[in-house]
Amino acid sequence: MSNNTLKVALVQHSNSADLQNNLDKSIAGIRDAAAQGAKLVVLQELHCSLYFCQTEDTDLFDLAETIPGPSTDLFCQLAKELNLVIVASLFEKRATGLYHNTAVVFEADGSIAGKYRKMHIPDDPGFYEKFYFTPGDMGFTPIQTSVGKLGVLVCWDQWFPEGARLMAMAGADMLIYPTAIGWDPRDDKGEQIRQRDAWMIAQRAHAVSNGLPVLSVNRVGHETDPSAQSEGIQFWGNSFVAGPQGELLAHASESEEQLLVVELDQSRSESVRRIWPYLRDRRIDHYQDLCKIYRD
């Protein structure tokens, strides 16, 4: 690799109730990525467990961990051993009764470079996250690492252009979205395609409007609804890496476990932003109403 390239990897896999097996899959993906020369590896949202937010169950708070804690200790050691940066996802126990959906970034020297607490928390059928997660309070601040400033956000954040823009304005070199998103199996094929396409378009648009690469990693497989009130979630995979003009550089399967490894040309954002100077032409003198919920 030249000095202007960075090899990145996304680990897409299915999950089960076997927490150790899920963790083993994530670790195997990281080791495989390292063997292929990756210096940055991103794991999917809540990669150690099932997506437990399909129901509201107080027993599931037992899944939460402190930071630092057992998972962060493990990934610190792994990052140092393999000399790479890891973006992992954690159900964070901040205090008794206070929990977050948190992405943690591990530096190649084995330290915790930083963390991001999910800001936008959904509350929809099958995605009852407000029951479990307090909205983040750390804002939209990129995390400085040896591979650049990482604009880490999480899942539902990916639909909001404001978060991506604020990360870009704070100097992020790329936008990263650990994700857990899927279909209601009762939706027809046309609706499923529209949802998946909207998901990809929205994130590729963040790449375009900010002139930055986007890394988005999702899980695959069907996970049943423990309450039997629905037919569960069919996670749609489609993890991808897009360049700073939204161009697809790598695109994973809809249904198969897969490791995506791709080289990013880190000089591309500079050249693209010179041609498409969105930051220069922003009319901040007329954006005050963006701080309102709605213009009545």
Which of 76, 92, 118, 223 is flagged as catalytic? 118
Residue 263, phi then psi, degrees to nearest 5: -90, 130
Q: Which residue has the tokens 């610190």?
A: 76
Q: Which residues contact 151 (CB under 8 A, 6 or more apart)?
A: 140, 142, 164, 167, 168, 170, 172, 173, 174, 175, 176, 212
What tokens appear for 208 in the block? 């375009």
Which of 7, 48, 155, 223 is flagged as catalytic? 155
Which of 39, 45, 92, 115 is flagged as catalytic? 45
Q: Specify whether the CB–CB gap between 231 and 185 falls below 8 A.
A: yes
Query: Residue ranges of the alpha helices (H) in 129-277?
Result: 161-169, 189-210, 268-275
What tokens appear for 27 in the block? 């670790």
Active site residue 155: yes
Active site residue 76: no
> Of 283, 286, 231, 281, which is closest to residue 54 (Cα–Cα)?
231
Active site residue 39: no
Residues annotated as catalytic (active site), given as ranges: 45, 118, 155
